[in-house]
Amino acid sequence: MEIIKYTFDIHGDDRGQLVALEELKNVPFDVKRVYYMWDTVKGVRRGFHAHKELKQILICVHGSCKIHLDDGRETEEVLLNKANEGLYIEGLIWREMYDFSPDAVLMVLASEYYDEADYIRDYGEFREAVNNTKGS
């Protein structure tokens, strides 16, 4: 599985750090939605789903967390711990987020508005969708 990580330019100076994210410039899609999660309870795993069409960039803007990725053939674990680093996820990828540090803030840029119909929340259904895609 190819892991696509973006490293965004930091506009740092003696006042501190700043990162700018611009759709179709350093973000490879139109950004329709931004959401973020924090105060994640110790030991919690989130996610447990894939998306049919959604493209996303996950940025741990503070603290750290790990992302489990599964494309139906292989799995990868990705550490996010830099405010200027984004993990790009598109296509049929099962994802779980875990090992959140107490101070972690995970921000996500998404290519579409929230749509429950785009989620595959059942792992068996996900595997079936992957197999159907391979066959087409």
Q: Report, in Å, the least distance between residue 103 CB and ligand T46.
A: 17
Catalytic residue numbers read 49
Q: Which two tokens stand for residue 73?
A: 């053939």
From CA 6, how far away is CA 107, in angstroms rounded? 14
Among 11, 18, 35, 134, binds ligand T46 (CB under 6 A): 35
| 3-state helix/strand/coil string of the chain | CCCEEEECCCCCECCECCCCCCECCCECCCCCEEEEEECCCCCCCEEEEEECCCCEEEEEEECCEEEEEECCCCEEEEEECCCCEEEEECCCCEEEEECCCCCCEEEEEECCCCCHHHEECCHHHHHHHHHHHHHC
| Span 51-80, contacts to ligand T46 by CB under 6 A | 56, 58
46 makes contact with ligand T46 (CB under 6 A): yes
Q: Which stretch binds ligand T46 (CB under 6 A): 5-13, 29-37, 74-82, 123-131?
A: 29-37
Q: Report, in Å, the least distance between residue 48 CB and ligand T46.
A: 7
Among 95, 99, 100, 107, binds ligand T46 (CB under 6 A): 95
Among 108, 109, 120, 130, binds ligand T46 (CB under 6 A): 108
Binding residues (CB under 6 A) for ligand T46: these are 33, 35, 37, 46-47, 56, 58, 95, 97, 108, 114
